[in-house]
Structure 1
Amino acid sequence: MATRSPRTHTRSAAVAAADRLTEAATAARPCPPIRDLLGTDDIDAAYAVQQRLTDHRVAAGATITGRKIGLTSPAVQQQLGVDQPDFGVLFADMDVSSLAEVPSGRLLQPKAEAEIAFELGADLVDGDLDLAQVRAAVARAAAALEIVDSRIADWDITITDTIADNGSSGLYVLGETWLALDAFEPRDVQMRLFSGDELVSEGTGAACLGDPLEALAWLARTARDYGQPLRAGQVVLSGALGPMVPTPPGTVIHAELTSLGTVTATFSKENS
């Protein structure tokens, strides 16, 4: 299958957009939206920016560990004013599951989403990449918290802004309980997300494109189309099961997902 690439006339804009996002990340100062460079509907150009930034990180020694699916929940799409899913790249240093605290100093405008993490036991390269094939490729799954972030000031994003900005990715935390898919059904999972003792978000697996496995199938096909298919051993974050919530420094959040248990994140104080 031929891979997709941006139109030639967008290449200089992609370079400028990548430079703007890199500067925002380096300076820890959000930047204006990049849609003035890419427009609001050139999805291929936005993924070209994401790939350019990914290539730079890999060249600097970063390790790709998987993907994140974004904008799968109608509630989150409504929050951000977009109408289709996207994906970003996960790197090894984004997994902060083993840390006592989430390092707030690495984040600009963080929000948290409760999700399902899938670990792949087989490549998703050939075939139809339909629901049955994707289900068979999943080795196990766990509860997860994705800590989304944006280099775009005030989360003023369109679909091209967020795709270029690696799907508005930040960090993530994985739960300790891992189950095979024959032990639970992802679309039936019930989720509750708490900030401290306050219930701040609720949702279900069905809120994630109707079924988190359907979201995974969408990602498998789309990632292959862009020449970066999913591989065995990679982790995929499903996308939100309910609305995202702000997580300023000092916040303690935890999510409860039926069958998969709980996952907790404590955000460090501002200057720690």
Structure 2
Amino acid sequence: MTEAFAEELERAFREGKPIEPLSERGLRGLEAAYRVQEAWNALRLRAGDRVVGRKIGLTSKAVQQQLGVDQPDFGNLWESRFFGQGVRLEASSGPFLQPRVEGELAFLIGKPIQGPHATPQEVLAKTEALAFALEIVDSRIRDWRIRLEDTVADNASFGGFVLLPWERKLLEEDLSTLGLALYKNGELQVQGTGAACLGHPARAVAWLANTLSGFGLRLEPGDIVLSGAWAPVVPVGPGDLVHLTATGGRTLALRFS
């Protein structure tokens, strides 16, 4: 079942055709879901892709309650879906099935972070730089009809991501008080602060490091970590222009062609 589900997800990823929920076809429990994610990641690597970091999902209490869970999840960031770093970027809508975007903070890891006892303070001390980011979340599961097992197996609903330039000076800020807003085609959609991400984005990264230790993994120098959304997701489609504006006058524009 693990390998078969992984192959289904890979086909959906390549061909842009959604599949029926895995949770309705026998996938039960987090452990089994992460085995599917791992098997799919292995297929991606064999196809020539590369893991450039990790993403954290389900950091919002509201979303956790919706799915009946009390913790986040994580997935891999694949190089093939990194659409660039800058202030004005473009992504083809072709690879996506049912995309949405969310604003968050990315961490560039500078020194190894090994759980299971990592703290937010250690995360900040071992982070090289920070950058505001737009994550494109996507689901290979038809109509976003997901349970926890579905999103975990589906690489935490990863679609792609873009980054503003890295900044060391952001490490001097209280990340919980930073703010961002997302606009679509000139209209304000959502707003949020860093406190929405498990109370502090570094707390989310510490959770990730501690959770990865159970899989025999750690955060490595050079890893990019998307720490989790600060506001609800915004649906997007071909032709949409999304602007992220953040504390300090930072702006990031992403157009879907």
Under a length normalisation based on structure 1, what TM-score does the superposition of the two structures give? 0.88
Aligned residues: 254
Shift of 1:127: 6.5
| Alignment pair present for 1:35 and 2:23 | yes
Amino acid at match of 2:143: D
User: Matched residues in 1 for 2:25 and 2:247: separation?
Assistant: 43
Match of 2:32 in 1: 45
Over 3 Å counting, the alpha-carbon distance change for 1:191 and 1:82 in structure 2 is: farther
Shift of 1:168: 0.3
Unaligned runs of 5+ in 1: 1-12
Over 3 Å counting, the alpha-carbon distance change for 1:238 and 1:160 in structure 2 is: same
CA contact (8 A) 2:27 2:33 kept: no
Match of 2:7 in 1: 19
User: What whole-Å deviation, never above 9, does each CA across 1:76-122 have from its counterpart, x for those lacking one?
Assistant: 446x6353311110111211025842110011100000000100001
CA contact (8 A) 1:14 1:38 kept: no
Match of 1:238 in 2: 227
Over 3 Å counting, the alpha-carbon distance change for 1:109 and 1:128 in structure 2 is: same
Amino acid at match of 1:14: T
Under a length normalisation based on structure 2, what TM-score does the superposition of the two structures give? 0.92
User: What whole-Å deviation, never above 9, does each CA across 1:47-68 have from its counterpart, x for those lacking one?
Assistant: 1111111111112221111000
Percent of aligned pairs sharing the same letter = 41
Amino acid at match of 2:236: T
CA contact (8 A) 1:176 1:263 kept: no
Shift of 1:27: 2.6
Amino acid at match of 1:145: L
CA contact (8 A) 1:73 1:240 kept: yes
CA contact (8 A) 1:178 1:260 kept: no
Specify which structure has the higher proportion of strand: 2
Which residues of 2 match residues 142-153 of structure 1 at below 5 A? 142-153=131-142
Residue 126 of structure 2, aligned match among 122, 126, 137: 137
| Alignment pair present for 1:154 and 2:140 | no
Over 3 Å counting, the alpha-carbon distance change for 1:246 and 1:52 in structure 2 is: same
Q: Secondary structure at the match of 1:106?
A: coil
User: Matched residues in 2 for 1:263 and 1:201: separation?
Assistant: 15
Q: Secondary structure at the match of 2:156?
A: helix
Match of 1:7 in 2: none
User: Matched residues in 2 for 1:257 and 1:115: separation?
Assistant: 10
Match of 1:188 in 2: 177
Shift of 1:19: 2.3
Shift of 1:33: 0.3
